[in-house]
Amino acid sequence: MEHAIYLVTLVGTALIVAAAFSSLIAFRFGAPLLLLFLCIGLATGVDGLGIEFDNARLAYFAGSLALAIILFDSGFGTPLNALRQAAGPALSLATIGVILTTGIFGVAAYYLLNLNWLESSLLGAAVASTDAAAVFFLLRAGEIHLRERVRSTLEVESGTNDPIAIFLTITLVEIIAAHANPEANVLATNLLLGFLANMGVGAIIGVLGGFGIVRLVERLNLDHGLLPIFVLTLSLMVFAAAGAIGGSGFLAVYLAGLIAGNSDIRAVTILKRFQDGMSWLAQIIMFLILGLFATPSQFPAILVPAILLGLFLIFVARPLAVWLCLIPFRLPRPEVAFVSWVGLRGAVSILLAITPLLGGLEHGRLIFNAAFIIVLVSLVVQGWTVGPLARRLGLIVPARLGPLDKVELELPGSAHHELLAYRVAPGSPVARGERIPRWARPSLVLRDGRSMRFQDMGRLAAGDQVYIFVPDRYPRLLDKLFASRAVVDPEDADFFGAFAVDPARSAAELEAAYAPGLTEAEQKLTVAALVTERLGGRPEYADRVVIGPIELIVRDVDEKGRITGLGLSFEPTAPVARVPVFLSAGEIVDRIAGFIRNRRKPAGTPAVEVPAEAAPAPESAVQKAAGES
């Protein structure tokens, strides 16, 4: 017995160490990390090294707990400004998008697999949710800086679409297991009522649990080593309480993390570090268990139809569902196409595919194997191409900051204050003489091994270590002051234009200098207000607005979303690559409409009218309305 304990521990820890080392490969080559974890599990399973693991209940239980930990950390790390910025599109994708994907995919599954309509819909529900964790790992590994709106949409969607897919999957399993064959209207009514009850209870428990976690952390004077464990346990308690009374535990734990992470909770730095490590461990354990549970020798029987279904999900079901969901929000077509492509399937889909086995369904193993193959297809086809597609669609923007050397230290016994230790980077604003704002309190400076007061230092120099006492919700201005200049790719040298424009200047000056054709009402606005209005009230870093012969580029926005820096360019922007047809239903519709219009035109009429190019403004006008950056 004792020998078995040692052997199991040795094998388990060896698998975790192998998975951790595989992350180095993923960072080096940009491989989908989830794919590596699953492959390690498959290689050590019954068809690999021979480790037999066929306990569906244990796999589902461990996977559910791991997913709850991941969702709590995801909510904890989601800022409210990201939620406000992308709430509409993301929630539409997480609800209507999941339902549409389930239905569209279910039709294809019905004709390609030997399943009835309910079982086909069950497979569709299992693979309807996305796994954005793998995507953001790839973005970090490739040092890809996405536009904030796109990144926020994907983050919020990934945290909120799992509960809906889980509800649909479990409900369909229960209906099939009961040998029920309800009419379509009865099924739709039951699903709607059950969905509202499940999500409503989960939302209430999650909100109450989130505020309860914050309250307990503030009231109890726990040791810093015990505090992260206490918070993690409370989050799992919220998850279990919501599920026990018929609510969505996954929605509850995500909302609890969202509320706790955006409150003035004590020891937030310690909690974030601990939860980041626990989230990694949960992902590794979940992926390895799911890989061990699979039996690759059973895959060949359904390999071809499962691969076809995976391709159908990537090229048809997901893009069509995304396009229909995002029509009301009028997002640019490249952003819609990228969101469509980044719908990677992952561990949640495999976890949900275990539920038919738990329900004792006749085709449970077939559904699980098909879902596993579909996930592998998604990771192989989409996982390697996220970065190149983002570059092709023009969604990558230059980094705001260069390297930053910072350490966050929470002060024992302090109320919502911490000590930030910055190393002054060469070329940073403070190294060039920029003043530190008054609300920050520099207390100590280390230079050449000697410590002295900040007041006695004079001008800071590169290499100085500065300790600043600030509130724990400090503005990001300090990071900008101490970071070095961002290294800009030569191709992006003119990304923000050749000239800087004061956002507070009158738009009438632009009209007088360049005659872009502004209305009288627009000429009464400031340049910042003009750009904000043209962008629909949501300016974002790197947004671009073409006004006649000029283009205004947002160089920076403050924490309240107000434009603080603008660039001006006279050169026409580089043509944006055409969105691949298979990623945009709108592209297909436009091509069909264009074909019909061209067919109706009289002979000899050009299909496309090319406008004349605007003449560049003279240099004197440039100097009049804009200062050279």
- Give the distance, in angstroms, between the CA of residue 61 and the centroid of all CA atoms in the same chain: 26
Could you tell me the domains of the chain? 2-392 (1.20.1530.20), 406-482 (3.30.70.1450), 491-572+617-628 (3.30.465.10)
Altogether, the residues listed in the chain come to a count of 629
CA dihedral (136, 104, 162, 364) positive or negative: negative
* Beta strands per DSSP E along 413-504: 417-423, 441-447, 450-452, 465-471, 499-501
Q: What is the mean pLDDT of residues 336-350?
A: 89
Residue 99 and residue 21: Cα distance in Å, rounded? 38
pLDDT in tens, 249-291: 999 999 999 999 988 787 787 888 899 889 888 888 888 888 8
pLDDT in tens, 436-465: 887 787 888 888 888 888 777 778 888 888
- Contacts of residue 382, defined as CB under 8 A and 6 or more positions apart, other chains included, come to 314, 341, 342, 343, 344
Q: What is the pTM of this model?
A: 0.81
Please name which of 180, 198, 134 lies closest in space to residue 380, comparing C-alpha atoms: 134
pLDDT in tens, 154-173: 888 888 898 999 999 999 99
- The encoded tokens of residue 477 equal 């201005």
600 pLDDT band (50/70/90 cuts)? low
pLDDT at 306: 96
User: Which residues is 420 bridged to in the sheet?
Assistant: 408, 468
Do the Cβ atoms of 344 and 132 come closer than 8 Å? yes
Q: 581: buried, middle or exposed (CB in 10 Å: 19+, 13-18, 0-12)?
A: middle
195 pLDDT band (50/70/90 cuts)? confident
- The encoded tokens of residue 48 equal 């690999």
- The encoded tokens of residue 502 equal 């004061």
Residue 482 and residue 460: Cα distance in Å, rounded? 10
- The encoded tokens of residue 142 equal 């490739």
Residue 102 and residue 96: Cα distance in Å, rounded? 10
Query: Is a pLDDT exceeding 60 seen at residue 305?
Result: yes
* Beta strands per DSSP E along 26-173: none
- Contacts of residue 53, defined as CB under 8 A and 6 or more positions apart, other chains included, come to 45, 46, 59, 289, 292, 293
Query: Is a pLDDT exceeding 90 seen at residue 233?
Result: yes
List Cα–Cα distances, 104 to 123, 152, 320, 338, 339, in angstroms.
11, 26, 9, 20, 18
Please name which of 225, 60, 51, 34 lies closest in space to residue 131, comparing C-alpha atoms: 34
pLDDT in tens, 528-544: 999 998 887 778 888 88
pLDDT in tens, 352-391: 999 999 999 999 999 999 999 999 999 888 888 887 888 8
